[in-house]
Structure 1
Amino acid sequence: MLQVPSLETHDRLGTGVAELSAFNDGDRPGWTREVFSEPYRASRAWTAARMREAGLEVHVDAAGNIVGRLAGSEASLPALVTGSHTDTVDGGGRFDGIVGVLGSIEAARLLQESGIRLRRDLLVVDFLGEESNVFGLSCLGSRSAAQELTPEDLDRRDYRGVTLGQAYADYGLDPSRLLDVPWAKEPLHAFVELHIEQGPTLEKRGLPLGIVTAITGIERFIATFAGAADHAGTTSMEDRRDAMAAAAEAVLAVRAEGCGAPTHGVATSTRVESESRSPNVVPSLVRMYSEVRSVDPTWLSGVKGRLTGEIAAKAADLGVDVGFEWSTDNTVVHAASSVQDVAGAAVDALGLPWMPIPSGATHDAVHMATLAPMGMIFIPSKGGKSHCPEEWSSTENIATGVEALVGTLRRLDTTDSRPTS
């Protein structure tokens, strides 16, 4: 019989979060543990040891993913996969991704302590480098597992001019073998990721759990505004071709686009850079970095044309030229309805309330969805805060998430046919 999370489980989860958070870059704010950094390298040795302590067979694959295996009774069956990531953004928090890794390890431990052996192998994965990084590419480990990391990706350069491929090599991974991930090339039964919500909905509604319906699509762009440099004291306002003013209009246009989304949609300008550093020169060249996100593919597909047209028109009114570089981080990915149903049934069996909920953040689950039917379980985030030092989820909520994860994995394990998408 499966034991419900005990005080010992609560203690292990709380202690795990505290111990893992100790691996951080002390020169940066919050809990900073970026991919390829020395704190990240040290933390991953801790994570592998934590998996072994929980009774998992552990290896690191060629893409840098840490994989812990709990052997099932029927090795020929496609495996179940769960997990998340342990890297953070610069100035980040202690729970994003970490909950999914520590929770999955605890789920495997609980199964063993309860004397329950799954039919299928259970793979617990700490994916390499899920967060966006100085190379502008997220989900490195899961992209490799899904065979989606490209040679062009490895040629991306950071602010120092170092390529992503060189960063892998410096970290001890062979750039030519990053797609050599045997466990991901085998048939997989399903993938389930436990995660903090990173938003306020569950907390506002007083709910302990959410079951994800879809993961947002993300479109990003860089707008480059070209005006004319002039003396800031002698050039009249009507004679200026002010690239910064055009960029300011564009920032407001991006915000208005997000505010006008009919259902789920957000739009953010994250950075504005001027080539001129002089305080008395009208800016002539400015770059603006922005993104739009939604789980509504119809709205998202129309954003590019709407924003390009509006920003160009406003810039032309100011005598400023503008060019655009658009890129798709990921398209809208829907969780498999069958996995949602199984997770819902598992939570119902626990007697806990829950709600279907979209994810406004991207996750390793996006790429794992190309390999197996995918589902996600959310727990509340205090104040909806994430990607900041104030990020917080209670140990009680994490333990509840682990309960839901265990129930979901057990039910998926007994499903003979592969869940449908």
Structure 2
Amino acid sequence: MKSVIPVQLSNRLSNGYLIIYSFVWDTKSSSPADRENAVKDLPLNPSADRLATDLVELSALSDRDQPGWSREVFGEPYREARTWVARRMQDAGLEVSSDGAGNIVGILAGNSPGAPPLVTGSHTDTVAGGGRFDGVVGVLGAIELARCLRESGTKWTRDLVVVDFLGEESNDWGLSCLGSRAVAGELSAADLSRVDRAGVLLGDRYQQFDLSVDSVLSADWLRERRPHAYVELHIEQGPLLERRRAQIGVVTAIAGIQRLVATFTGRPDHAGTRPMDDRRDAMVAAARAVLAVQQLGCGAPTHGVTTVTNLDAGTASPNVVPASVQMKMEMRSIDRSWFSAAQQQLVGDIAEQAAREDVDVDFIWTNDNEILDTTLAVQNAISGAAENAGRSWVAVPSGATHDAVHIAGICPTGMIFVPSKDGRSHCPEEWSDVEDIAAGVEVLGRTLAQLDRAEKVT
């Protein structure tokens, strides 16, 4: 008996009418090339108008007391936005729920519900003073993909799981990607014991957001289900695609992130009476450290960067020589050999400069995430999907971290970038053209369709 899979194709004409064609794949008699051509010919026409409407509506749910489109994790605008996202998922035909870690999950059922699912999504929280596209494009794009599949009557073998991960951005507890860490089984009780600047425990903040500590720590459902693959659509947040005039970025690696807190301890003195050559000025030592950080980054290989993000003297007195200064910095790279050597070099350079000022310095390093190489088979699926869609593409690394870093621990993972105007991100000027976003959704759909047919992704 022949095994057949029903497939429906649709073309939406300019006058708005929808014409539907139907045929079947004979999975035993058809060749791989035949099935490849069938997927290539599947019409997938994301609506730029719908995406634009969704972007406008979601961006309105932001904190008006802050600049830009601020929607920080656990805030009320974020709570409102997540209700909106759940409703949009339902409207697109997804079966929607919220897991114990606060992730919003929508499922479009496939023909084989027990098969390892395909997963896509991103996040809808922002940094303070952020933009309208970072993370949001991946969530709204996935919802638009679900709409397209329903409208064309296309049903894949595997479930399509769309996730709006909770709290991807850095926060006052110093821990990014809260939701994806949780579902990957990487969030610990020690993490929930972190405190913010006001002394509030992360676990308590979850409770205030109607999420119990126990449910957060046991929300590793995605790890248990072992997805077939995860593909995340995102804005590039950098200038490479625009400079190379490419419509699609195939992400090859996501940078590792090491963060440093350096505390400089000198001696307090009267700023008007202590001679300049007899001071132990912690601020001067910290200033020299800032320049050392910049110099290290300027000498880094391609895609290596270093940034001082904060200096805190702990006092506002204008007539006291600073006795204690805390410097926070981070370094990012996809080059493992440079990463390790650069940490040692930086510590040595900062200690040497501090000694010149007779200032002591202590170092605390933390690892936000390791360097991640995305799965080669997923990279190939994305590039092939881009070519099938007639979209230009280039291979690019990601200097920003993403939920994909943590999902990569449980299944094959890849990312699709669309261009960012002038490479701007994490600011109100962040912008991606809706036509580019629609192109990204098309490539996302074709990529997942190809992966759906693969018995295994390695």
Does residue 184 in structure 1 map to residue 223 in structure 2? yes
In structure 2, C-alpha distance between the alignment counterparts of 1:356 and 1:49, rounded to whole Å: 35
Contact 2:253-2:372 at 8 Å conserved across structures: yes
In structure 2, C-alpha distance between the alignment counterparts of 1:380 and 1:358, rounded to whole Å: 13
Structure 1 gaps of 5+ residues are none
State the identity as a percent: 57
Deviation string 1:19-71 (CA, Å, 9 cap, x unpaired) is 00011111111111001000000000000000000000000000110000000
Contact 2:44-2:445 at 8 Å conserved across structures: no
In structure 2, C-alpha distance between the alignment counterparts of 1:41 and 1:184, rounded to whole Å: 26
Contact 2:281-2:321 at 8 Å conserved across structures: yes
Structure 2 gaps of 5+ residues are 1-8, 10-41
Does residue 309 in structure 1 map to residue 345 in structure 2? no
Structure 1, 361-370 or 347-356: larger mean CA deviation = 347-356
Please point out which of 329, 332, 335 is paired with 1:293: 332
Deviation string 1:121-162 (CA, Å, 9 cap, x unpaired) is 000000000001111110000000111101111011111111
Please point out which of 247, 268, 280 is paired with 2:286: 247
In structure 1, C-alpha distance between the alignment counterparts of 2:215 and 2:336, rounded to whole Å: 34
Query: For residue 69 of structure 2, what is the amino acid of its counterpart?
Result: W
Give the structure 1 partner of residue 375 of structure 2.
336
Does residue 100 in structure 1 map to residue 133 in structure 2? no
Structure 1, 227-236 or 13-22: larger mean CA deviation = 227-236
Give the structure 2 partner of residue 42 of structure 1.
80
Does residue 146 in structure 1 map to residue 166 in structure 2? no
- Please give the secondary structure, in 1, of the residue aligned with 2:347: helix
- Please give the secondary structure, in 1, of the residue aligned with 2:228: strand
In structure 1, C-alpha distance between the alignment counterparts of 2:43 and 2:223, rounded to whole Å: 31
Does residue 5 in structure 1 map to residue 45 in structure 2? yes
Give the structure 2 partner of residue 88 of structure 1.
126
Does residue 55 in structure 1 map to residue 93 in structure 2? yes
Does residue 195 in structure 1 map to residue 225 in structure 2? no
Deviation string 1:157-176 (CA, Å, 9 cap, x unpaired) is 11111100000001000111
Does residue 225 in structure 1 map to residue 264 in structure 2? yes
Give the structure 1 partner of residue 113 of structure 2.
75
Contact 2:185-2:223 at 8 Å conserved across structures: no
In structure 1, C-alpha distance between the alignment counterparts of 2:277 and 2:366, rounded to whole Å: 35
In structure 2, C-alpha distance between the alignment counterparts of 1:254 and 1:281, rounded to whole Å: 26
In structure 1, C-alpha distance between the alignment counterparts of 2:239 and 2:219, rounded to whole Å: 39
Deviation string 1:276-331 (CA, Å, 9 cap, x unpaired) is 31111111100000000001111111222111111001000111000001000001
Contact 2:134-2:235 at 8 Å conserved across structures: yes
Structure 1, 184-193 or 78-87: larger mean CA deviation = 184-193
Contact 1:92-1:387 at 8 Å conserved across structures: yes
Give the structure 2 partner of residue 367 of structure 1.
406
Contact 1:275-1:284 at 8 Å conserved across structures: no
Deviation string 1:207-243 (CA, Å, 9 cap, x unpaired) is 1110000000000010000011111122111111110
* RMSD between aligned residues: 0.9
Contact 2:238-2:423 at 8 Å conserved across structures: yes
Give the structure 2 partner of residue 385 of structure 1.
424
- 1:180 is displaced (CA, Å) by 2.5
Structure 1, 361-370 or 154-163: larger mean CA deviation = 154-163
Deviation string 1:171-212 (CA, Å, 9 cap, x unpaired) is 000111213242431121000000000001101111111000
Contact 2:183-2:223 at 8 Å conserved across structures: yes
Please point out which of 195, 205, 211 is paired with 2:250: 211
Give the structure 2 partner of residue 272 of structure 1.
311
TM-score w.r.t. length of structure 2: 0.90
In structure 1, C-alpha distance between the alignment counterparts of 2:234 and 2:149, rounded to whole Å: 20
In structure 1, C-alpha distance between the alignment counterparts of 2:220 and 2:110, rounded to whole Å: 20
Deviation string 1:84-142 (CA, Å, 9 cap, x unpaired) is 00000000000000000000111111111111100000000000000011111100000
Query: For residue 355 of structure 2, what is the amino acid of its counterpart?
Result: A
Give the structure 2 partner of residue 235 of structure 1.
274
The number of residue pairs the alignment matches comes to: 417
Query: For residue 359 of structure 1, what is the amino acid of its counterpart?
Result: S
In structure 1, C-alpha distance between the alignment counterparts of 2:180 and 2:280, rounded to whole Å: 45
Moved over 3 A (4+): none
- 1:416 is displaced (CA, Å) by 1.0
- 1:258 is displaced (CA, Å) by 0.7
- 1:335 is displaced (CA, Å) by 0.3
In structure 1, C-alpha distance between the alignment counterparts of 2:43 and 2:291, rounded to whole Å: 53
Contact 1:276-1:284 at 8 Å conserved across structures: no
Query: For residue 70 of structure 1, what is the amino acid of its counterpart?
Result: L
In structure 1, C-alpha distance between the alignment counterparts of 2:270 and 2:342, rounded to whole Å: 36
Please point out which of 65, 68, 71 is paired with 1:33: 71
In structure 2, C-alpha distance between the alignment counterparts of 1:368 and 1:220, rounded to whole Å: 22
Contact 1:220-1:326 at 8 Å conserved across structures: yes
In structure 1, C-alpha distance between the alignment counterparts of 2:315 and 2:227, rounded to whole Å: 53
- Please give the secondary structure, in 2, of the residue aligned with 1:316: helix
Question: What is the 5 A alignment of 1:339-418?
Answer: 339-417=378-456
- Please give the secondary structure, in 1, of the residue aligned with 2:234: strand
Give the structure 2 partner of residue 122 of structure 1.
160
Give the structure 2 partner of residue 175 of structure 1.
213
Contact 1:197-1:384 at 8 Å conserved across structures: yes
Query: For residue 454 of structure 2, what is the amino acid of its counterpart?
Result: T
